Amino acid sequence: MFKIIKKEILNPTVTLMKIEAPLIAKNAKAGQFVILRVSSDGERIPLTIADYDNNTITIIFQIVGATTYKLNQLNENDTILDVVGPLGNPTNTKDYKKVIVIGGGVGCAIAYPVAKQFHLEKSNVTSIIGFRNKDLIILENEFKQVSNQFYILTDDGSYNKKGFVTNQLEELLKQDSSYDLVIAIGPLVMMKAVCNLTKIYNVKTIVSMNSIMIDGTGMCGCCRLTVDGKTRFACIDGPDFDGHSIDFDEAIERSKMYHSIERNAYDHVCNLLKEEKKNV
Amino acid sequence: MFNPSKEKTYMPVQDANVRNKNFDEVSLGYDCNSAINEANRCLNCKNTPCVSGCPVGVKIPDFIGKIKEGKFEEAYEIINNTNTLAAICGRVCPQENQCEKNCVRAKNGEAVAIGRLERFVADFHLNNSSDDNIKKVASKNQKVAVIGSGPAGLSCASELAKRGYQVTIFEALHLAGGVLVYGIPEFRLPKSIVQKQIDHLISLGVEIKTNVVIGKTITIEELKNTYNYKAIFIASGAGLPRFMNIENENANGVYSANEYLTRINLMKAYKETSDTPIVKANKVAVVGGGNVAMDAARCAKRMGAKEVYIIYRRSKEEMPARQEEVEHALEEGIEFKFLTNPISIGKDSNNFVNKIRCVKMKLGEPDASNRRSPIVIENSEFDIEVDCVIMAIGTSPNPLIRNSLSDLKVEKWGGIIVDEETNATSIESIYAGGDAVTGSATVILAMGAGKKAADSIDKYLSLKK
Ligand code: FES
């Protein structure tokens, strides 16, 4: 059992939790993830480690399905049934001098520890983070602190500059050809758009793939994707891959595999919990 | 009194058309009378050909002798001396290729039903004894780590615990049992039986830590240096699923058997109460001819598929699956497409699989493995309409541990290299066994390896003291 030390509502659909998990915290590195399970007979879902110290790990999640909904029902001092990790390979933050870190929506939770790690390794960090609107913004100050240049955009212009992260990226790439890495983390369509752009400007691009997972140890193959024409497993070969080699269209379709089923499960759980509340 | 019947004593099973809609156990097992009746078919041969067919050398005529006398608990003790997972092996061992293959009675009729008798004795024990007063405490102060809680890990842990070592099993998933809980379905091996075996281990003093991935959560270095384990047994299995590398294999609705079975068995997708999503398919093609293929096909049927095909490139005779599973699958309405091999998968505009394209095969000359190798028949392509494909063509050893341990010598295909006599790896104090060494094999072979490694670890640690 893993105790929730702190819970913070970052915005209406995104929550942060600090969880007591000393074993995981000890070996965790930026870019790695955990898999957790909230109830018996429940799903196992992967979530990136957004931060860690000696004793705890921090996760930031968006409420998108039955499991994240149930997770969000838990409060400080409650426990999470199962948490396993750190899984996947850490992001390689060495060997790069000038990087652009791009975070989209809740993907910023993953992009932030990576930006922080680059910063600690003394790279020059440019961060571009984007959100649908003002209410969904997370980690703005955290990013600022680890970035040499910082840009924040909203799709609808309700905060700061209006536009997509790719607009800002293109502006930068046009002016300056000395970036040696772009790292993009967010929705698949955003990562795809970033990669299409950086291909034109010929800048190496790493993306973090948030595939559907079960075990996270290479056992099931449900996290598989096509990279350079070959099948790879996101959990043990990734989650970071060269963005210019990924078959994004396939990955986007695979991510929708259970959409209709999940929607039903989500509605079902929400209704159940509402019923419960009424009856208390 | 000798029973001359040429046939095995009947073991009741759930009716095929009832059971193909539920996940309850298919075979219902013997009662005392039928067990004694079947035991009386045994000739008690002096040269015990059956024992030489058993990978762990269970003293078969001896335990059957006890059944004849109605001394079931004593029969259990005899099996348990060589096989600590009898309730499991009685259900999943391919007896027809092992003990029963050598049975003298099989020369003129059917072999003695050794597997069914083993199962009966083990179930009798589980139902009539309790672990309450065992509570063993380790008498030796040396700690041994076992990585993986499948058959190899469980048997090694049990042997070492009995000898007084402090044993910890580390399991990556949230539940112990390895392939016994994520792979083999409830209707073939009820999870309550696996759990009883595990509870028994715990009562012997074995500690089980779930949610720990060795090589990630804790490294082997840390096991040795920080946590002070004096020996390590790697039994991480052969979990990595293989795919065929054919077109559209990553389409939605194409599963590895591991994923499909895990969603159903471990994650309980068959239960109403589970959140685990799974594609509800009408027409399912399962590719492969082993037990895993049978399991996947029979699960698909139970999940509501109308048509389920097993596509196998050789013929029925070459199928590696247990005979009983093949028969049960046939009875449950699974359709076999022998001498057939997929060459590509088709998908619709939403990336969901809609057909599988196959070619017909014929058998050629025997190959290195002494099986006749299948050859493609020209221009024999045909399509089968399906909305789900399950690849059950085998697995490779899990790479996590070898990737985190550069000194560990492994085969090109990933199997850990060990000394055949001792199961020692290339690194001192580290042993390995089961599918992690052999590639996917049987429960009983893995168990045997676990036991052998326990012997070696015991020797090694006794000398070290
Ligand atoms: S999550 Fe199962 S293999 Fe990657």
Q: What is the CATH number of the domain that holds B385?
A: 3.50.50.60
- CA dist B393 → B2, B64, B279, B327 (Å): 44, 37, 20, 20
Ligand 1 pocket, Cβ-based, cut-off 6 angstroms = A 213-216, 218-223, 233, 235
What the block records as the tokens of B443 is 């429960």
- Model pLDDT, residue B198: 93
Let me know if residue B203 belongs to a domain.
Answer: yes
- Model pLDDT, residue A266: 61
- CA dist B208 → B167, B200, B269, B443 (Å): 9, 12, 25, 20
Let me know if residue B137 belongs to a domain.
Answer: no
Name the pairing type of β-strands A149-154 and A124-131: parallel
CA quadruple B92, B98, B104, B106: dihedral sign: positive
Q: Flag whether pLDDT at A274 surpasses 70.
A: no
The reply to whether residue B174 touches residue A226, judged by beta carbons under 8 angstroms, is: no
- Model pLDDT, residue A141: 93
Q: Are A112 and A139 in contact (CB under 8 A)?
A: yes
**Spatial distance between the Cα atoms of B203 and B131, rounded to a whole number of angstroms:** 6
Q: Which of A220, A249, A272 to mutate to test the interface with B (most CBs of B within 10 A)?
A: A220
Domain boundary among B342, B367, B393: B393
Q: Which of A19, A79, A219 to mutate to test the interface with B (most CBs of B within 10 A)?
A: A219
Let me know if residue B8 belongs to a domain.
Answer: no
What the block records as the tokens of A52 is 């860690």
Min CA distance, B193 vs chain A (Å)?
A: 18
The reply to whether residue A24 touches residue B182, judged by beta carbons under 8 angstroms, is: no
- Model pLDDT, residue B441: 86
Of the candidates B216, B243, B252, the beta carbon closest to that of A86 is on: B216
- Nearest chain A residue to B396 by CA distance is A219
What the block records as the tokens of B229 is 């384990």
- CA dist A55 → A27, A31, B293 (Å): 11, 18, 44
Average pLDDT score over chain A:
90
Residue B278 — pLDDT band, cuts 50, 70, 90?
confident
Of the candidates B241, B277, B278, the beta carbon closest to that of A220 is on: B241
pLDDT in tens, A194-210: 999 999 999 999 999 98
- Model pLDDT, residue A273: 60
Task: Count Cα neighbours of A262 within 13 Å in the Cβ-side half-sphere.
Answer: 15
- Residue B61 one-letter amino acid: P
Contact pairs from chain A to chain B, CB under 8 Å: 122
Q: Find the B254 Cα to ligand 1 centroid distance in Å.
A: 14
Longest alpha-carbon distance in chain A? 62
Let me know if residue B29 belongs to a domain.
Answer: yes
Q: Find the A185 Cα to ligand 1 centroid distance in Å.
A: 20
Residue nearest to atom 2 of ligand 1 (CA): A220
- Model pLDDT, residue A11: 87
What residues in A contact B239, CB-CB < 8 Å?
215, 217-219
Q: Flag whether pLDDT at A269 surpasses 70.
A: no
With vertex at residue B215, the alpha carbon angle to CA B211 and CA B219, rounded to the nearest 5 degrees, is: 100
The reply to whether residue A24 touches residue B217, judged by beta carbons under 8 angstroms, is: yes
- Model pLDDT, residue A154: 95
| Third-level CATH fold of A2-87 | Elongation Factor Tu (Ef-tu); domain 3 (2.40.30)
**Spatial distance between the Cα atoms of A247 and A249, rounded to a whole number of angstroms:** 6
What residues in A contact B279, CB-CB < 8 Å?
257
User: What number is the average pLDDT over the span B384-412?
Assistant: 90
**Spatial distance between the Cα atoms of A31 and A196, rounded to a whole number of angstroms:** 23
Residue A268 — pLDDT band, cuts 50, 70, 90?
low
Residues B387 and B275 in one domain: yes
What the block records as the tokens of B18 is 């009832």
Residue-range domain boundaries for chain A: 2-87, 98-208
What residues in A contact B275, CB-CB < 8 Å?
39, 41-43, 66-67, 265, 269
User: What number is the average pLDDT over the span A25-36?
Assistant: 94
Let me know if residue B220 belongs to a domain.
Answer: yes
Average pLDDT score over chain B:
92
**Spatial distance between the Cα atoms of B128 and B122, rounded to a whole number of angstroms:** 10
Q: Find the A48 Cα to ligand 1 centroid distance in Å.
A: 15
pLDDT in tens, A235-246: 999 899 999 999
**Spatial distance between the Cα atoms of A231 and A211, rounded to a whole number of angstroms:** 13
Percent of chain B clearing pLDDT 70 (strictly above): 98
Residues B247 and B388 in one domain: yes
The reply to whether residue A215 touches residue B172, judged by beta carbons under 8 angstroms, is: yes
Best residue for ligand 1 mutational test, from A89, A217, A254 (most atoms within 8 Å of Cβ): A217
Name the pairing type of β-strands A98-104 and A181-185: parallel
Best residue for ligand 1 mutational test, from A45, A84, A223, A227 (most atoms within 8 Å of Cβ): A223
Residue A103 — pLDDT band, cuts 50, 70, 90?
very high
Q: Find the A130 Cα to ligand 1 centroid distance in Å.
A: 29
Of the candidates A84, A254, A256, the beta carbon closest to that of B213 is on: A84
pLDDT in tens, A105-155: 999 988 999 999 999 999 999 999 999 999 999 999 999 999 999 999 999
- Model pLDDT, residue A39: 86
| pTM as predicted | 0.91
Residues B255 and B235 in one domain: no
Residues B180 and B231 in one domain: yes
User: What number is the average pLDDT over the span B384-393?
Assistant: 96
- Model pLDDT, residue A42: 82
Residues B203 and B342 in one domain: no
User: What number is the average pLDDT over the span B15-34?
Assistant: 93
Residues B214 and B113 in one domain: no
Residues B264 and B212 in one domain: no
What residues in A contact B399, CB-CB < 8 Å?
218, 236
Min CA distance, B255 vs chain A (Å)?
A: 7
What residues in A contact B183, CB-CB < 8 Å?
none
- Model pLDDT, residue B135: 60
User: What number is the average pLDDT over the span B231-246?
Assistant: 92
Residues B218 and B157 in one domain: yes
The reply to whether residue B172 touches residue A67, judged by beta carbons under 8 angstroms, is: no
pLDDT in tens, B67-97: 999 999 999 999 998 888 899 999 988 898 8
- Model pLDDT, residue B12: 93
**Which of ligand 1's atoms lies nearest the C-alpha of A235?**
4
Q: Which of B212, B221, B256, B275 to mutate to test the interface with A (most CBs of A within 10 A)?
A: B275
- The domain of B103 spans 16-128
Number of domains chain B is built from = 3
pLDDT in tens, A209-248: 989 999 999 999 999 999 999 999 999 998 999 999 999 9
The reply to whether residue A220 touches residue B210, judged by beta carbons under 8 angstroms, is: no
CA quadruple B215, B400, A228, B260: dihedral sign: negative
Min CA distance, B47 vs chain A (Å)?
A: 43
φ, ψ dihedrals at A121, nearest 5°:
-85, 10
Residues B262 and B325 in one domain: yes
Q: Flag whether pLDDT at A34 surpasses 90.
A: yes
What residues in B contact A257, CB-CB < 8 Å?
252-253, 277, 279
Residue A277 — pLDDT band, cuts 50, 70, 90?
low
SS3 B181: helix
Domain boundary among B128, B158, B183: B128
Residues B387 and B293 in one domain: yes
CATH number 3.40.50.80 given to A98-208 = yes
- Nearest chain B residue to A265 by CA distance is B275
- Model pLDDT, residue B186: 93
What residues in A contact B256, CB-CB < 8 Å?
220-222
**Which of ligand 1's atoms lies nearest the C-alpha of A216?**
1
**Spatial distance between the Cα atoms of B157 and B432, rounded to a whole number of angstroms:** 13
Q: Find the A234 Cα to ligand 1 centroid distance in Å.
A: 7
φ, ψ dihedrals at A104, nearest 5°:
-120, 125
User: What number is the average pLDDT over the span B239-248?
Assistant: 92
pLDDT in tens, B117-176: 999 999 999 988 876 666 666 688 899 999 999 999 999 999 999 999 999 999 999 999
Q: Flag whether pLDDT at A181 surpasses 80.
A: yes
Residue nearest to atom 3 of ligand 1 (CA): A218
Residue B323 — pLDDT band, cuts 50, 70, 90?
confident
Q: Find the A149 Cα to ligand 1 centroid distance in Å.
A: 36
Let me know if residue B3 belongs to a domain.
Answer: no
Percent of chain A clearing pLDDT 70 (strictly above): 92
What residues in A contact B259, CB-CB < 8 Å?
214, 220-222
Give residues with Cβ within 8 angstroms of B203, minimum separation 6: B131, B132, B134, B135, B136
pLDDT in tens, A6-21: 999 998 889 999 999 9
Q: Flag whether pLDDT at A272 surpasses 70.
A: no
**Spatial distance between the Cα atoms of B261 and B23, rounded to a whole number of angstroms:** 13
Residues B91 and B178 in one domain: no
Can you give the C-alpha Rg of chain B in angstroms? 23
Residues B381 and B288 in one domain: yes
- Model pLDDT, residue A271: 65
